Amino acid sequence: MLKLAASLSRLGTESAFEILARAQALAAQGKDIINLGIGQPDFKTPKHIVEAGIQALRDGHHGYTPANGLPQVREAVAADLQRRHGAKVDPDCVVIVPGGKPTMFFAILMFGEPGAEIMYPNPGFPIYESLIKYSGATPVPIALSEDKDFAFDADTVLSQITPATRLIIINSPANPTGGVTPKAEIDKLVAGLAKHPDVAILSDEIYSQMLYGGREHVSLLNYPEIRDRLIVLDGWSKTYAMTGWRLGYAVWPESLVADVTRLCINDHSCVNASAQFAGLAALTGPQDAVAEMMVAFNQRRSLIVEALNSLPGVRCSDAAGAFYAFPHVGGTGLTSRQAQDLFLNEAGVATISGTSFGAWGEGYVRFSYANSAENIERAIERIRKVL
């Protein structure tokens, strides 16, 4: 009998990958499956970015790079953050990692241990709760609700701080809800944090370029008063349709750069060199493809929100960001999980139960609209039939 570490049993998962496998298995059996489950753009990585990756390999960039990333890539990230948020970032505080996830892994491992508390959005990206539990810390949910457009409430967050609180995770625009937290709420949170100087903040801004209806992204980088305890996670996966390249970055407080770099050295040494050259081309090249993708996402968002609201027993609020709709399906008499299974098994439409994103997701189902308008329409009509 193998004796595994107890911590392993506390590690959760991201159901999107399991649903993807189930959808692929059904498709392999000849079933026509429409995948509105996985959260990745259905667009290809823009050509000039792919070419830069290929060219890097041709040019002989086959070796290790610095553990924190190539200097020119870190400089390009800093310049991009200045351009997008008007925030001044020292390239030495930027750490390039293989995707968005490693930053949350490292931040949670740095602060989490038995006795510590970490706050996280619920419903939220499932890896937050999974890793907090894995670290031994106590997960403290920040409950998000539809009546607040799935934005966090700063007073609630501040009222949940205890002497054991080490880290607060926020995510706007959010997965799975599409919620965007207004600036007033972020202002209030930052002001309240002045009284808690030993609490760190991880702001997951991976969807920072995906907002609709004239909304603007408010980066936590714009609050100099918390920069000494702020980690901002972002990356290439969503913005540049580069999920499979595994490329992300974070801006770290200067005092934690050496620690996170040590974690990188222990974990992955450095990020694949050609992916970093591709990422450099993404940041420094034309941004037209990003704008075009956003036009398509916006059209699909209107389409899916309206179509979901036309289904019996379903209501869907206006998703302000990312590429997810998060309708309430309670009026159908189904639980979230039953709805997910019915949609996949009977309608051939992969979606994800709201409970996969935490207990506060009960009653909801996540639909990713990173799929064609035609497929979205077909999916909704199939769901209408099974309902």
Q: Which residues bind ligand PLP (CB under 6 A)?
A: 39, 99-101, 125, 171, 175, 204, 206, 235, 237, 243, 248
For ligand PLP, the closer of residues 123 and 327 by Cβ is 123
For the CB of residue 194, give the shortest distance to ligand PLP in the complex, in Å. Answer: 27
Strands 138-143 and 117-122: parallel
Q: Which is nearer to ligand PLP, 40 or 338 (CB)?
A: 40
Q: Which lies closer to ligand PLP via its Cβ, residue 181 or residue 332?
A: 181
Please name the residues in contact with 112: beta carbons below 8 A apart, sequence gap of 6 or more. Answer: 118, 131, 132, 134, 135, 136, 137, 166, 167
Closer Cβ to ligand PLP, 74 or 101, answer by number: 101
Tokens 């498709």 correspond to: 27
- Quick count: other Cβ atoms within 10 Å of Cβ 265? 12
Determine whether 55 is exposed, middle or buried from the number of CB atoms within 10 Å of its CB (0-12, 13-18, 19+): middle
Q: Which is nearer to ligand PLP, 91 or 121 (CB)?
A: 121
Q: Report, in Å, the least distance between residue 168 CB and ligand PLP.
A: 15
Any residues with CB less than 8 A from the CB of 256 and at least 6 apart, and which?
110, 231
- Minimum gap (Å) between residue 207 Cβ and ligand PLP: 7
Q: How far is the CB of 213 from ligand PLP (least distance, A)?
A: 20
Distance CA 362, CA 335 (A): 7
Name the residue nearer to ligand PLP (CB basis): 219 or 243: 243
Using CB positions, name the residue nearest to ligand PLP: 100
**Sequence letter at residue 84:** R
Q: Tell the smallest beta-carbon distance from residue 381 to ligand PLP (Å).
A: 27
Smallest gap from residue 195 Cβ to ligand PLP (A)? 28
Q: How far is the CB of 59 from ligand PLP (least distance, A)?
A: 25
Hey, which bits of 326-372 come out as E strands? 349-350, 352-353, 365-368
Quickly count: other Cβ atoms within 10 Å of residue 217's Cβ.
Answer: 18
Beta bridge partners of residue 113, listed in sequence order:
none
- Letter string b/e over residues 4-29, b meaning 16 or more CB atoms within 10 A of that residue's CB: eeeeeeeebebbbeebbebbeebeee
Nearer to ligand PLP, 176 or 348 (CB): 176
When the beta carbons of 185 and 205 are compared against ligand PLP, the nearer one is 205
Could you tell me the strand order of the sheet in which 352-353 lies?
324-325, 365-368, 352-353
Query: What minimum distance in Å lies between the beta carbon of 138 and ligand PLP?
Result: 21
Q: What are phi and psi of 243, to 5 degrees?
A: -60, -35
The minimum distance between CB 203 and ligand PLP, in angstroms, equals 11
| Residue 117 beta carbon to ligand PLP: minimum distance, rounded to whole angstroms | 21
**Terminal CA-to-CA distance of the chain, rounded, Å?**
47
Would you say 185 or 204 has its CB closer to ligand PLP? 204
Place of tokens 């070796």: 63
Selection from 31, 373, 375 nearest residue 383 by Cα: 375
Closer residue to ligand PLP, CB minimum distance, 223 or 240? 240
Q: Which own/partner contact pairs does 309-312 have at CB distance under 8 Å and 24+ positions apart? A: 310/380, 310/384, 311/380, 311/383, 311/384, 311/387, 312/384, 312/387
